[in-house]
Chains A and B, each alone.
Chain A
């Protein structure tokens, strides 16, 4: 994997791209909230994660953290409400942090699909942990196996979507 665009960007271009990615991510998140495919809290595919993954290739890891957390804040302000905020925010933050670590340490072994799978699973795990703290009960972890399967499959789909997007637009030179 070689990053084609990363070094050509000026500072102001980076700001504009970050703003675009946050707004696209917010819209994706709202669209995703309209369709509840699975009848489990947190059982979503994680389409909004695509912008974070694209940001890895466009600008860099630190910027991806900003995009992920701002997307969660924006999505909750516009649609989700205050009760959904801690789940969304900490889930996005932790999954992005773990994805950065995975990208830096396992970049030879894992492709973008594998990193996305890790992100999806960690997102669900963080949300369950936040929920168990709020509810004060560990019974919520009974959803863990199902959520891991949903997270892995959703992560694989978003990883492939990102890969196809990056290849078509020439963000990665293979």
Chain B
């Protein structure tokens, strides 16, 4: 490694550490309870955390996923994709966190319930 290699490496690590820190500071510690599920960029449904466990079967032409929501968070229980990355992510419960299943084009976002977005286009 030359001097400039080290500079580049340190710069990239530094900037992403700053990004992680920024994300940590911006997302509030309080639990967020609005769940937005979209398939292939289009809205599939809006859900909220509830005391009993909700089970959402998502069957589209891209694949099948079973999403579960209870009062502590949202997670993907079963998926028809090969890599199962969306199951490995586990449970999410903070605003700004996302679960993505690339093969099934599924995206689960947690939205902040207090802050209003200026405008969203679909």
Q: Which residues of A contact B (CB under 8 A)?
A: 33, 36, 39-41, 81, 83-84, 87, 106, 109-111, 113-114, 117-118, 121, 131, 134-137, 139-140, 142-146, 148-149, 151-152, 156
Q: Shortest Cβ distance from B109 into chain A, in angstroms? A: 5
CB <8 Å contact, A139 and B98: yes
Q: Which residues of B contact A (CB under 8 A)?
A: 1-5, 8-9, 12-13, 15-17, 19-20, 23, 38, 40-42, 62, 82-83, 85, 88-90, 96-98, 100, 102-103, 105, 107, 109, 122
Residue of B nearest to A39 (CB): B88
CA distance A142 to B20 in the complex (A): 9
Given A81-B103, A111-B1, A152 contacting B12 (CB threshold 8 A): yes
CB <8 Å contact, B13 and A149: yes
**B12 surroundings in chain A (CB, below 8 A):** 117, 121, 148-149, 151-152
CB <8 Å contact, A148 and B103: no
Q: Shortest Cβ distance from B82 into chain A, in angstroms? A: 8
CA distance A81 to B83 in the complex (A): 12
**B103 surroundings in chain A (CB, below 8 A):** 81, 83-84
Q: Shortest Cβ distance from B10 into chain A, in angstroms? A: 10
**B5 surroundings in chain A (CB, below 8 A):** 110-111, 113-114, 117
CA distance A12 to B8 in the complex (A): 38
Choose from B38, B96, B102 the contact partner of A84 (Cβ within 8 Å): B102
CB <8 Å contact, B9 and A156: yes
**B88 surroundings in chain A (CB, below 8 A):** 36, 39
Q: Shortest Cβ distance from B43 into chain A, in angstroms? A: 10
Given A110-B5, A117-B5, A145-B19, A135 contacting B40 (CB threshold 8 A): yes
CB <8 Å contact, A131 and B102: yes
CB <8 Å contact, A109 and B4: yes
CB <8 Å contact, A152 and B38: no
Given A87-B102, A134-B40, A148 contacting B2 (CB threshold 8 A): no
CA distance A112 to B50 in the complex (A): 53
CB <8 Å contact, B20 and A114: no
**B13 surroundings in chain A (CB, below 8 A):** 149, 152
CB <8 Å contact, B4 and A136: no
CA distance A114 to B4 in the complex (A): 8
CB <8 Å contact, B9 and A152: yes
CB <8 Å contact, B97 and A142: yes
Choose from A83, A113, A118, A134 the contact partner of B1 (Cβ within 8 Å): A113
CB <8 Å contact, B8 and A118: yes
CA distance A22 to B42 in the complex (A): 37
CB <8 Å contact, B15 and A148: yes
CA distance A106 to B3 in the complex (A): 12
CA distance A152 to B16 in the complex (A): 10
Q: Shortest Cβ distance from B45 into chain A, in angstroms? A: 15
